[in-house]
Amino acid sequence: LYVFPPDGDDSSVIELTMGTTYTLLASHDDTRVHFSIENDGSDPPGKVDQESKRVKLTIPTSVTPVAGPFRCWQLNDTVRSKVLMDGIQYALETLQREATTNNSTIVLDLSDFSLCGMLASLLGAPNVLSIESSSGELPMASARVAQIGNCLPLDEKTTKFQILRCHAESLTNEILRGEITDGDNGEELSSSPAVVDLVVGEPYYEILEGWPIETALNYFYTVRMLKRKGIVRTSLCVPAQAVVLACGIESWDLYSAYRKELSATSSTALHVCGFDHTPLVECWRYDKKGISVSLWEYGDVVPVTEIVQLARLDYENGTIIQEGKGDDSEKSVVLMAPFIESKRTCHAIAIWVDYQIRNAPSSSNSGSSDAFATLSTGIFGKASMTRTSKISE
């Protein structure tokens, strides 16, 4: 807890005295919190008026974080980074094994912050380009992490690592060729068409943080667009697929916060923890539109139905496979999710995305096809679902 005096003068610091009443004032915006203390009634009226006119101190803008707490936690997840690195390494080895490219292999990172691009460059990819579409400070932070934190490119004579601050829609073969041929190996590549051999991404977009379905779809349509423009020539992609999953959940905390009482009147208004939520629920139909909620922050979330697959986005083949039986006239899909918990209430439907990353098969299955590692945006894998159910019982 940070408590600031009314101004920087030490003489203005309020000394707390036992038996005296004080008020702790708090104000905040999206990035900063400010606290101050005022004495209730013990100061002369003139002094109180003078203090009230002073500008309250705020936390300096220089400490404004580039990434939020959840994003920082995500980037510090070593298991997640290891899965991405293994997938990128396997994809690079596949390109070398199939002899589809030479030392001019081009890797394109389509996610904000360039994490996968940095991993590809550290694994020895000769040409890495990263598209940074964010309009904030994230592209500059990405460049600092790449150049200062990881010393990229590792060898300026044989490898390249470039960050392009633009939208993927504006990328062309000419721009791609210009970025790659600017150096010692320009003569080698200038006569050949500049096309991407490998597309990588977390996926992550700063503007879509917290919205997994929109993020997965944005990555899908971006990759498909680049393929149709002839900028991407290979079907190899990290991740290879995205699976949209859902299940019914019980959470009385969520229910009390977001339910809408149709019979509520001014005398029986909806209150949550003493606050009137009627204006909030009136302007947003939670039963019609989704909300972005981190379920791991709620301790009482219990899955009450089986996990069902809603759709599969194949980034490599550019197809979306929607599960269930659809009505051609209404284009609707009906999916059945049987209950697995009796005597429980389904308050909401949780939807998340599992990214499938192609990886090398294990030694026991060396003769089989590629294996897949999973990066999930949700908290309900099969193991966690079983564990949660046992705890709930």
| pLDDT per residue as tens, the chain (393 positions) | 445 555 555 555 667 778 888 787 777 766 667 777 777 665 444 444 444 555 554 444 455 677 888 888 888 999 999 999 999 999 999 988 876 555 678 999 999 999 999 999 999 998 999 999 887 788 888 888 998 888 898 888 888 898 988 888 888 888 787 766 655 444 444 455 678 999 999 999 988 988 999 999 999 999 999 999 889 987 789 999 999 999 999 998 888 776 655 444 555 556 666 777 667 666 666 666 778 888 888 878 999 999 999 999 999 999 998 876 544 445 667 778 888 878 888 888 899 999 999 987 765 555 556 689 999 998 775 433 322 322 222
| Token couple for 42 | 């013990």
Cα 90 to Cα 92: distance, rounded to the nearest angstrom: 5
The 3-state DSSP class for residue 94 equals: helix
Residues facing 354 on adjacent strands: 243, 376
Please answer whether residues 160 and 180 qualify as being in contact, where contact means their C-beta atoms are separated by less than 8 angstroms. Answer: yes
Query: What one-character DSSP code corresponds to residue 295?
Result: G
The CA-to-CA distance between both ends of the chain, in Å, stands at 38
pTM: 0.74
The per-type count for the chain, helices as H runs and strands as E runs, is 11, 17
Q: Which amino acid is at 389?
A: S
Helix 115-122, helix 78-98: angle, nearest 10: 60
- CA–CA dist 148, 116 (Å, integer): 17
Alpha carbons 384 and 44: distance in angstroms, whole number: 61
């998340």: which residue's tokens? 352
